Chains A and B, each alone.
Chain A
Amino acid sequence: MRPLRPVGIVGYGAYVPIYRIKASEIGRLWGHDGCALPIVEKAVAGPDEDMTTIAFEAARYALMRARVNPDEIGAIFIGSESKPYAVKPSGTIVAEALGIGSHLLAADYEFACKAGTEAFQTCIGLVGSGMAKYAMAIGADTAQGRPADDLEYTAASGGAAFVFGLKSKETVAYVEGSCSYATDTADFWRRAGQPYPRHFGRFTGEPAYFRHVITAAKKLMEELGLGPEDFDWAVFHQPNTKFPLKAAKMLGIDRKKLEPGLLVPYIGNTYSGSSPLGLAATLDVAEPGDRILMVSYGSGAGSDAFSFVVQDAIEEKRGLAPPVRAFLERKKYLDYASYARFRGKLLR
């Protein structure tokens, strides 16, 4: 998929809450001391944070880098599976807080962990077709993990926002193409009214994550006539540390190309925020001319693959807002009790 007119990212922003809990602290509680854990630590939303506040923070930084009048943003899409309201859009909350005008298209997307990148594609389509001058896509989550479930070690909070516009000297990276792959694969789900998702163990690997990520990535490369060696950087959805590294290996991509965007060991799986945050962290270090492969994954299941080419404006714009690294370094550790209170696991 390519827009009729070239479209690119004009601004990006990231946000990760300050709180962390170590996987070993969760393991201590459930008797998994000394076992290999999927990550080192994960980011936890504070008691006054939810998905919309995270989205707002990231979007604010994206606007700082975009240097556009908020009024010119014609659409906002938030991808998330932890919306504060089951019925009531999150996009309107964030847009109003940002000062974006009311002649606005706003919608929330849900596709497990890939809802954020679907927002990318919608924005690219709207801008590329001329229906919007600028459009904002946000992937953000305060993901839920049932106590003692494998997901509790990784389900984390964070998000990233991107402003798309027609390719110009303001563009930090333009879209070469995108490709999606989706099937009815029930590897992970949360039914209406349920507080925690359920998942189907190892089924989430080979027939779910890897099948979709690899298929979408290969198809994108085929359509663009590119090979793994043509990409300087790569970002995959990061449910744990192992999966993105294995996906890279399967595609023949050197693991060094993942390193800047491989955030999961230190912030966990931020669901809809995961691959967008990885992209933001990669843009923080990429040089003009670099090509970035990004592949999201959402259970249920599907992947969106993108190829971005970094432009000169990155050098000037990356300093206009905090880099992802700043959020990684800024942290306060919680014990399990405080984590349980912050995440509403204790009833009063």
Chain B
Amino acid sequence: MKAPPAIVGVGCTKVREHWGKSVLDLAVEACLKALEDAGNPDVDAIYLGNAASELMNEQGNLAALLADALALEGIKAVEVRAGDASGSLALHQASMDVTSGSSRAVLACGVEKMTDVMVQEVERVGMLFEDARTTFHSGVTIPGLCAILTRLYMERYGADYEDIILFAVNDHRNAANNPYAQYPFPIDVKAIMGSPLVADPIRLFDTAGIGDGAAAVVLCEPGDARRMSDAPVAILASEVACSRMSLSERDDLLSIRSLRLAADRALEKARVGLKDVDFFEVHNTTSIMGILALEEMGLAGRGEGWKLVKEGQIAIGADWPVNTMGGLKGRGHPWGATGLYQAVEAVWQLRGEAGKNQVDGAEVGLTHNMCGLGSVSCVHVLARWEVVA
């Protein structure tokens, strides 16, 4: 197997309402932190993931703008767009670039500034990543679609909504120890059930909030890894798969096929079994999507994911630690940045820098980021450099 690219620097902003910072300010802040963490190397390229800066910030062509702001004139500047999967796809492209030998060191950054527009506009823009013919024009929202899935799941598998939202409770428990999280405090089932109904049965506190943030990593070719970092992290696999975009055209509404395909390919490429993975960062726009992700990856059988959560098996210290720094619900979900927040958090775990949330002896981690309800999924398998060497 060809030696994998390495992550040698990470950085991110806190996820929050950054009223005083622009989309560019956020990206610059995350990139400068990542570059500093990597010892300020020369980079040959920037891959920038962002979902909707033209629509929400009246600013396009972000990759070139970011390169300009970082005084990196002349480098490759590539923008990657795939809704809320944009961040992981930027990392994927960056990884491919280094793997191909085209670049020696690259920056991958994900950024989203969502608070420049009203909530209703965020909802509208979010639906533009779905099939306009079957979905956007129907007027349904992502929480609305999640409500359909939740109801079907409850009916088919006999789970209660109170069981399902334990996924969000797990997120918040972990976010409480993440200084970069948007909601760094625990919540319980009662608090979620007491929050406003968004789309029956989905409650407000079961949905990922609206927030601003940016995260970035510096990648380098394997030969430079040890020179640039004391604790490089290997990208063992970076795989992308798409599936039927409209829920109405899927064979099974409760299956995220793009995730299955991307995860299978990634684990095979990484030559890692599911049991070898020490922690998982999954894409939970609402609790139901987190539970379906557990089932899709094979952590639990069909209809059994909620039991895994209820039995506490996704907590840190249990068999399958999930969303160890808070996930989309606790850390926050600034669309195009989420995939890179997952990568940054995975690097913290693999370096042993996750503080109170450290997964003991973490050597291999898996991250899953997707667009909407799984039109595109991107899975990364990351590992301590020692695992490769």
Contact = CB atoms under 8 A, between A and B. Distances in A.
Question: What is the predominant secondary structure among interface residues of chain B facing chain A?
Answer: loop
Nearest to A202: B17
B20 A207 contact: yes
B197 A203 contact: no
Interface in A198-254: 200-203, 206-207
A32 interface: yes
A73 to B, nearest CB: 43
Contact of B197 (A35, A206, A207): A35
Contacts of B194: 36
B196 A207 contact: no
A207 B19 contact: yes
B119 interface: yes
Interface in B24-79: none
Interface residues of B, number: 10
Contacts of A202: 17, 115
Nearest to B194: A36
A202 B118 CA distance: 9
A32 B17 CA distance: 26
Given A207-B19, A207-B20, A200 B196 contact: no
Contacts of A35: 196-197
A336 B217 CA distance: 55
Interface in B154-184: none
Contact of A201 (B118, B196, B197): B118
Interface in B188-215: 194-197
Contacts of A34: 197
B115 A36 contact: no
Nearest to A33: B197
Nearest to B19: A207
Contact of B119 (A201, A206, A207): A201
Contacts of A207: 19-20
Contacts of B118: 200-201
Given A201-B118, A201-B119, A206 B17 contact: yes
Nearest to B122: A201
Nearest to A34: B197
A203 B196 contact: no
A32 B196 CA distance: 8
Interface of B: 17, 19-20, 115, 118-119, 194-197
Closest 5 CB pairs of A and B: A207-B19, A35-B196, A201-B118, A201-B119, A202-B17
